[in-house]
Each structure stands twice: as structure tokens, then as C-alpha cells.
Amino acid sequence: MAKQAERRAATSEAILAAARRLFGTQGFAATTMDEIAEGASVAKGAVYHHFKTKEAVFEAVFDSVSRDLVAEIDRTARAEKDVLAAMVAGTQHYFAATAKGPTGQIILRDGPAVLGWERWREIDAQHFGGKMPRALSAAMEAGLIARQPVEPLARLLLGAVTEAAVACAGRADIARAGAEYARAFRSLVEALRVKP
């Protein structure tokens, strides 16, 4: 029984790895279930056994990419002096990662279109989006910003970050645009800081 579970898990991982490569390089619309099966070296029926639709495969890939992105952001943020500086550094990393390449294709270009904004937000709230309210709560606990309702502030800041990342993704000069938005976000966050 354990071997069968291991085989199922290995097949699922192979499918998701192939789908991630394909969705990241050619996008959701251009990727077929046949290509995913071929990339995973499994029969098309095996793909459908694990995932009922291409959208279901995409959702699993989106979740995985989001989880990996948050792990990268956490590594970046840990080096900062306090939670506000960590928010800025983490958001700068988010801009850079989602403005280009496979991560940007999956998270920003295809994510909202394939999943719909509501589901996109639900999944994001388990990853990057969920970090904002926790960081703001920690900043309030540390006395870095004034106590206030966390949810509205988190939604406003997260909305700004998402809009900025989408804007970066559409620009030819992604690196420059990302740096500009990161500076603007730093200004927003630093304006919240309690002055000594």
C-alpha cells in the first residue's frame, strides 16, 4: 500500500513539475493536457486521474509557485532590522519575482484570468497576501506603527502591491519599474512609522 501511495505521489509531482514548466514558459492558454502528460512521461489518462481539468492542474501549480515565492521572500526579509524594513524588502522581492519570467506568468498574467480574482485572492491569502496582516500586527505590537484596525490597512497596502506588480509586469523596463514601485512602497510604509 505504501509503494502505491509513493507511486501516486511521484506521478502527481511529475505532472505538476511538467505543468509548471509549460505554464511558466508558454502560458496557460497555449498549454495542452497532452503536453503536460508528455512532459511528465505519463499517459494523458494519468493526468486526468490526478487532476480532473487543466484548471485544476493550474491551481495546484499556482499554489506551489506561491508557496515557493513566499519562502524566497522570507529569506530576503529575515536579513532586515525590523518588521517594517522586512515588509519593504519582501515586497521589493515580490515585485522583482512577479514582474518577469515563469513566476510572473503564473502568478500575475494567468493566475487571475484562470482562477478568477476571488479564488486568486483566497490562495494568495494563504501565502504572500497572508503575510501583510501578520507583519502589520507585529509592527503594532513592537510599537513601530500606531495601533489601528489591521484588516483595512493590510488590504490597502496589499492592493497597492498587487496593482504595482501588475503594472511592472506590463512594462518593458521591468527592473526600473520594480525599483520605482519598491521606493514608493517604502515611502508608504515609512510614513506609518511612529516617530521617536
Show the CA angle centred on residue 76, arms to residues 80 and 96, nearest 5°.
Answer: 120
Say if residues 105 and 23 touch (Cβ distance below 8 Å): yes
- Asked whether residue 40 carries a pLDDT value surpassing 70, the answer given is yes
Task: Give start and end residues of each alpha helix (H) in 27-173.
Answer: 33-40, 44-50, 54-77, 83-98, 101-104, 111-115, 117-125, 128-141, 150-169
Residue 47: count other Cβ atoms within 10 Å of its Cβ. 26
- Asked whether residue 2 carries a pLDDT value surpassing 80, the answer given is no
How much is the pLDDT for 97? 85
The average pLDDT across 31-46 equals 95
Going 97 to 102 to 107 to 112, the CA torsion angle's sign is: positive
Question: 106 versus 5: which is more confidently predicted?
Answer: 106
Which class would CATH give 1-52? mainly alpha
What are the residue ranges spanned by the domains of the chain?
A: 1-52, 55-192
User: What is the band of 9 on the pLDDT scale with cuts at 50, 70, 90?
Assistant: confident
pTM: 0.87
In the chain, pLDDT over 90 holds for what percent of residues? 66
Give pLDDT tens digits for 133-192: 999 999 999 999 999 999 999 999 998 988 887 777 777 777 788 788 888 999 999 999
Say if residues 90 and 143 touch (Cβ distance below 8 Å): no
- Quickly tell me which residue has 499554489 as its cell: 63
Q: How far apart (Å, rounded) are the C-alpha atoms in residues 41 and 64? A: 20
In the chain, pLDDT over 70 holds for what percent of residues? 98
Give pLDDT tens digits for 90-111: 988 888 888 778 998 999 889 9
Q: May I ask the CATH architecture of the domain 55-192?
A: Orthogonal Bundle (1.10)
Q: Which residues contact 171 (CB under 8 A, 6 or more apart)?
A: 99, 177
User: What is the band of 195 on the pLDDT scale with cuts at 50, 70, 90?
Assistant: confident
